[in-house]
Amino acid sequence: MNAEQREQAEREQARRVLPPAAYSDPAPGRTEARRRHLLSEIDRQTRARSSRSALRPRRRMVLGAAVAAGATVVVLSLGSGTTGAPNVPPASAASVQVLERAALAASATSQTKVLDGQYVYVKTVGHTSVLSENKAGQMELLREDEGMEQWTSVDGSERTLQRKAGKDKLLPGPANLNSPTYKFLAALPTDPHALLKLIRDDAEKNHGAGSGSTTGPDQEAFVTIGDLLRNGVTPPATTAALYRAAALIPGVDIAPDAVDAAGRRGVAVARVHDGERTEWIFDTSTDRLLGECTVLLKDSVWGKAGTVVTSVALISSGVVAEAGQTP
């Protein structure tokens, strides 16, 4: 099957999975232009970043869990493979279509009035996986609740308040790609190519050669964009640009039937790395992001193939006057 036939097959798959679009398809040549750009980006050498958005559940290994006060916690990266392979294909036509629809839906959203001094609120539910050493010295795989509420200062003038399991914690600043404020997001480029370049350059500067990270630039870009998309209220133009930047990343595809942490079904834009599939789950009727999960594609220490090792669902978001309030 040649490239043209493969693309046609992918488009047919997308038509079967998705209902008719409420928005027009990308202009002729737009998808091809993005693909040409991403091919030039594949050879860019960046390294992974170790920190993650506060909303992102992370798997952990807990050593000596039976020792009440002296347990050592090591946060493990979600992947342990080599850097991005040079022969990864461009994002599939089906995934580009889903992402473009999400971008168009975001662009059609009314701009929320946001003022300095206010807070962006987001509520999530979900879980992560924890490996814990029991009294017998054996490792047990446990599921840990990752549901939380979070209030982030719009202008970064106050620290972020995170509430988890009834306990409050203040998170450190300043605003950056790993911990963005609304004002930070509003200042990001809205051209997808420029936005992807900024994300890649950040990974290179902070986690380049010698960092010890092995995730690879393409997976890191995908993870970073996913983190930014889950931060609650984001300027519509920024959200649309993030989706279109994701369409430039090689290896992106779809998972036709996905379920978020709240049990809602949808279609997922996904990327596979080191035997794990990271999925962004979208509502097929509104094209809006529901949540994200990571699924094992092969047996590992974290479980059998098919295990959902991390999952987070967006439940509520909005803008409030004070930390602790809800919309």
Provide the token pair at 322.
């004070």
pLDDT for 217 equals 81
- DSSP E strands, the chain: 60-63, 72-75, 119-133, 139-145, 148-153, 160-164, 167-171, 252-259, 265-273, 276-282, 289-296, 308-320
pLDDT for 67 equals 35
Q: Against a cut of 0.75, is the pTM above it?
A: yes
pLDDT for 203 equals 73
Using only the alpha carbons of the chain, give its radius of gyration: 20
- What are phi and psi for residue 11, nearest 5 degrees? -65, -40
pLDDT for 228 equals 95
CA distances from 313 to 130, 177, 230, 262 (A): 19, 20, 9, 6
pLDDT for 212 equals 66
Which sign does the torsion angle of CA 162, 180, 269, 296 carry?
Answer: negative
Closest CA to 227 of 124, 325, 308: 124
- What are phi and psi for residue 184, nearest 5 degrees? -65, -45
pLDDT for 82 equals 32
Residues in the chain where the model's pLDDT stays below 50: 23, 31, 34-52, 64-84
Which sign does the torsion angle of CA 188, 116, 51, 308 carry?
Answer: negative
pLDDT for 107 equals 96
Q: Could you identify the residue written with the tokens 């398809």?
A: 25
CA 87 to chain centre: 23
pLDDT for 104 equals 98
Express each pLDDT in 45-96 by its tens digit: 223 333 446 677 777 666 543 333 333 333 333 333 333 456 899 999 999 9
DSSP 191: S
pLDDT for 202 equals 84
pLDDT for 147 equals 96
Tell me the one-letter amino acid at 116.
D
